[in-house]
Amino acid sequence: MGIQGLLPFLKKASREANLREFRHYTAAVDAYCWLHKGAFSCADKLVRGEPTNGYVMYVMKQVNLLLNNDIKPILVFDGCNLPSKALTETKRREIRERNRKRAKDLLRQGKTREAKECFQRCVDITSEMAAEVINACRARNIDIIVAPYEADAQLAYLNLSGIAQLVITEDSDLVLFGCKAILFKMDNNGGCVLVEQEKLHHSMNVPRDKFSFDKFRNMCILSGCDYLPSLHGIGLAKACKFFSVISNPDIHSVLCKLPSYLKMPQLEVTQEYRDGFIKARNTFLYQLVFDPIDRILRPLNDYPDGNEAEDFPYAGKFIGHKQALQIALGNVNVQTGEIVNHFSPDTSKVFDFLIFLHYALCFALYECWIY
DNA sequence: CGGTCGTCCACAT
DNA sequence: TGGACGACCG
């Protein structure tokens, strides 16, 4: 869902752009977006379990678009569900199941067009589908990373650590995770919308030196995000108005002043809401991600002094560096925990070296034979 | 004015 | 599914 209406709100921080402008950049790509769009072309087959590679073709077409613009893609896939999202997931599964039955009924009645629409509404992106795309990427030497938890946080880490200078997604949450440069709405011609963190102050109508990213994050959470539904009648505009007046950094006490500051006396800010707010903020700050350079599981941002992973259980369980590496490589089915692959970047390098050696020897022998 | 709720659209041909 | 866009409500 992301943040309701965030992209229109960020109009002053955005501009039209084209992939042409980003030659020789590395881009971290939200693979789920492409998987989902690609699944539309073959929704009926996917739901009925018939074999299709339509979605793989689509993703590879998009990958080619980047390659043709001399952009190096890193495809980032979703990993395990955060505990806080488990409820949402089961609800979605139920809705999909209902749609699937309706689609089958429509099909039996011969209403093909309506059935197709229904199929499109219940496509589920499975880890098997992600695995197909991962295999296609491997075959073409395209880098992939499966996030330990949400792809969003992983994409942000790749951007913040400088591994990728760009993030490509359709999900406005990425702004909130702290990304520096994001491309939204990429089309077949490479056209897209660029949102830069440097320009966020324009949207909030404050000069650059008065802008605080903490306030921006708080504003978005208050307006309603995936981790915390909004209070009734509060959207981005009200949240922006509120946080532009507030300077006290203590969120707990600040939230109590919400009804009087916004002149909404009917508004009730419960203890539960305030706790939820802190948890949502910490999930954006400290969600666990995989560091592909040092091959460790770590929080998106460093923990405050004296804190550790156990203090933020809702931001991901600490599953250990080795398990995180196996997940990141795509060797684990994150929905079942089953080992599906034994890919290792190190043995693959050894393998590449052996191939190199083989050709070098052949060449040497050939040279000897000539003379 | 700003917030909410509904409808349409994506893919690819 | 989720975002965009237009219509209605406080």
Whether A237 sits with its Cβ under 7 A from any strand C atom: the answer reads no
Length of chain A in terms of residues written: 371
Residue nearest to nucleotide B1 (CA to C1'): A237
Burial of A167 (0-12, 13-18, 19+ CB in 10 A): buried
Within chain A, which residues score under 50 in pLDDT? Answer: none
A227 within some domain: no
The number of distinct structural domains making up chain A is 1
A5: nearest nucleotide, CA–C1' criterion:
C3
Q: Please state the pTM of the whole predicted model.
A: 0.89
A120: nearest nucleotide, CA–C1' criterion:
C1
A134 within some domain: yes
E strand or H helix that includes residue A36: helix A31-40
A289 within some domain: no
Instruction: Give me the amino acid identity at A279.
Output: K
- In CATH, what number is assigned to the domain containing residue A174? 3.40.50.1010
Chain C nucleotides near the protein (CB, 7 A): 1-5
DSSP A305-369: TT--GGG-GGG-----HHHHHHHHTT-B-TTT--B-----HHHHHHHHHHHHHHHHHHHHHHHHH
A355 within some domain: yes
Instruction: Give me the amino acid identity at A102.
Output: R
The A 4-63 residues near strand C by Cβ under 7 Å are: 4-5, 7-8, 36
Q: What is the pLDDT of residue A123?
A: 82
What b/e readout covers A316-354, taking b as 16+ CB neighbours within 10 angstroms? bebbeeeebbbbbbbbbbbeeeeeeeeeeeeeeeeeeee
pLDDT tens column, A49-104: 889 999 999 999 999 999 999 999 999 999 988 877 666 667 677 777 777 777 77
The A 120-149 residues near strand C by Cβ under 7 Å are: 120-121
Q: Domain of A124?
A: 6-205+316-370
Longest dimension (CA), chain A: 95
Q: What is the pLDDT of residue A12?
A: 87
A254 within some domain: no
Query: In whole angstroms, what is the distance from residue A347 CA to residue A40 CA?
Result: 37
* Residue found under tokens 């009730």: A268
A298 within some domain: no
DSSP H helical segments within A43-147, as ranges? Answer: 43-48, 54-68, 86-108, 112-121, 127-139
The A 307-326 residues near strand C by Cβ under 7 Å are: none
Whether A92 sits with its Cβ under 7 A from any strand C atom: the answer reads yes
- Asked if residues A75 and A140 have their Cβ atoms less than 8 Å apart, the reply is no
Q: What is the pLDDT of residue A302?
A: 96
Residue nearest to nucleotide B11 (CA to C1'): A41
A83 within some domain: yes
pLDDT tens column, A240-281: 888 787 777 777 887 777 667 777 767 777 888 888 899 999
A184 within some domain: yes
